[in-house]
Amino acid sequence: MSWPVIALIDFVTIISFENIFYPFQNQGLSVVISWIFLLFTYVIPYALISSQMSLTFDNQAGGLASWVRHSSNDTLGYWTSWMYWVQSVPYIVDVSNSIIVSFSWIIFGDNSLDKRMSTFWFGMLTFVIILIFILLENRLKNSLEILSLIGGGAMFIMSMLFVLLAGWAVMHGHHIATQPFNLGAFKPSFSLNYFSTTGLLIFAMSGAELAAPYVSQMRNPKRDFPKAMWMLAIMTGFLTIFGTLALAMFFNAHHIPHDFKMNGPYYAFQLLGNSLGIGKTLMYIFAVVQALFMMAQLAVLLDASSRVFAGDVADRFMPKWLTEKKNKSGRPVHSYTFTVGLSLFLLLLTGTLPNINTIYNWLLNINGIISPYKTCWVFFAFVAMRMHQERYHSDYVFIKNKTGALTVGWWCLIFTFVCATLGFIPQNVKMGTPAFSHQLIMNFITVFVLFGLGLILPWMRKHEEKKNKQ
């Protein structure tokens, strides 16, 4: 495989057009400064750290879990596997929600879903979608992996198209919505809200380690894999920075619609279409691409989330009733049962929220907590490996000076952990209100349950082994 292909595959897996909307709502135009800062101090080091780790452990199929396992021990390798799996559950629910939203725009052509559907039926329909995709997993997986590449490629084209056409529209007389559009508008506020929403930026840009399995499929990984990571970082930087500037052309950064995270991408293409004189055409094209991409992503996510239960390391820490019964693909059947159960748990929690828009925003908030905690393991593995670098060989070394490499590794690890922890603070609700307290409690309960199960399963395995010996 060539390095541009690997960069593109990783890019469409990591970031999509909608990923630039919720940071824009949270931080306004000042998020451009955040994107630029993160590009040079976080995204590029992250990508190059992933390059070294991928080339150091190029014969390991476990990806991030293998990095942690071989740089530390089996127990931490299991924890990485567990956190990698469990962080996908809120995202699975979030993707299922996005499927419903995209079809509502295809059918109704507007933002009326919140008025047409109750939170109960929204949750039920989300659960049914997850259940259908699990039941049809073996039949859908291969075809939808192809669709994910097609949909992902189309999503990338739509994203670039929006940026380019927005620039063209402004040059041909379109009025810039954000006023004043000057240097002062880009100045960050550095408030508690600003820092508590940075975890969502990390969630939007993380995932460079997903390219690790492709190392073995490259002709010259030493030379080409770092190139793929550089291309990935540059593409991510381009979309986030110029995509945000394009949004400022059509939306007033000081008065953003309250449902911007859920409906913003559709609003954007509708406004762009109106500016170009083609009405809702672009919006409908985007809605179809979004629906295809999200369905394909759901199928791939459900398959990937079962892999942790099939691994050798995981098997040592999980009770046999969870791992013994397997389907035709060799995946433990009860991994899907577990996924359904935790999805239902999340949906029951979201049922206590007042409307669909709040549900959508809260799930994004949870992803902004759990996903960065998972990403911490990338930097933990890098620091652990570089502390004993004489034990390992890699064809590519990110920062040859040991002290410099450890400084960058520790910076990324601490920064990610702090942003994930600050993410517990609820967003889009006023501090001190009952709604704020409600969502804060929901955040703690969710993280406690999802991560806490990772402690219970090894205990159950030990109890099972003692029982068998008696």
Concatenate the DSSP letters of all residues of 397-430 into one string: -SSSSHHHHHHHHHHHHHHHHHHHHHTTS-SSS-
What are the pLDDT digits (tens) for 318-336? 787 777 777 776 667 777 8
Residues 6+ apart with CB under 8 A from 192: 425
Beta-sheet strands, E only, within 219-357: none
Report d(CA 419, CA 368) in Å as an integer.
9
Whole-number pLDDT of residue 145: 61
Nearest residue to 357 (alpha-carbon basis) of 119, 93, 24, 23: 119
Taking a C-beta distance cutoff of 8 angstroms, is the pair 370, 87 a contact?
Answer: yes
273 and 280 Cβ atoms separated by less than 8 Å: yes
The predicted pLDDT at position 93 comes to 93
Query: Which residue, among 264, 241, 252, has the nearest Cα to 32 in the 3D structure?
Result: 241
Q: Which residues, in sequence order, are CB contacts of 271 under 8 Å at separation 6+?
A: 250, 251
Residue 424 CA to residue 414 CA, distance in Å, equals: 16
Residue 399 contacts residue 52 (beta carbons within 8 Å): no
Please enumerate in sequence order all residues whose Cβ is within 8 A of that of 470, keeping only pairs 6 or more positions apart, or say none: none
Cβ count within 10 A of residue 315? 16
Residues forming beta bridges with residue 332, ordered by sequence position: 326
Q: How many CA atoms lie within 13 A of 437 on its CB side?
A: 3
Those residues of the chain that have pLDDT short of 70 are: 13, 59-62, 137-145, 147-148, 213, 304-315, 329-331, 470
Give the pLDDT of residue 111: 92
pLDDT digits (tens, 9 = 90+) for 221-273: 888 888 888 888 888 888 889 999 999 999 998 889 889 999 999 999 999 99
- Residue with structure tokens 């629910």? 93
